[in-house]
Structure 1
Amino acid sequence: MTATRTEDLAETDLIRELEHLHRTRHETFLHGAPQALREHSNRTGELEGEYLRRHPEREVDPARTRSGARGEG
């Protein structure tokens, strides 16, 4: 079976895969073999990069920025 290229994923598949990776990150970090953690990190980076490429103007919550988190404004 051939892996689907990240840029070929439908939007719904991209979101679903990102949600799955974000849900499983903590367990993989705590209990996964080094290779599993590397693969998880690589795949997460690929998918997050693709999401950002598709949505460069995504809404950013001001409270999630450095200045917003400090209450600067």
Structure 2
Amino acid sequence: MSTGVDPSALSDEDLLRELGSLYDTRLDALRHAAVQAFGEHTKRMNLLEAEYVRRRPAREVDPGRLRAGARAR
């Protein structure tokens, strides 16, 4: 089964749009999709997220999202 356009072929704008669309439908997929459909949703999300991280290895990281920041909360 195809998981869509190869994430590496997407423009930055398209990649962010695709991620946003998946995040918008994630809870619905979790709650109501067939097991196979949820698995495909998860595979696509993982592919797109991996591409985002590959393109932005030095992306800004919120210190509050690190272990020390979580302990400080």
TM-score by length of 2: 0.90
Unaligned stretches of 5+ residues in structure 2: none
Aligned to 1:16: 17
Structure 1 residue 5 corresponds to structure 2 residue 6: yes
* Greater shift in the superposed pair: 48-57 or 59-68: 59-68
Q: Secondary structure at the match of 1:70?
A: helix
| More RCO (CA 8 Å, sep 6+) | 2
Unaligned stretches of 5+ residues in structure 1: none
Moved over 4 A (4+): none
Deviation (angstroms), 1:12:
0.3
Aligned to 2:30: 29
CA distance in structure 2 between the aligned counterparts of 1:52 and 1:60, rounded to whole angstroms? 12
Residues paired across the two proteins, number: 71
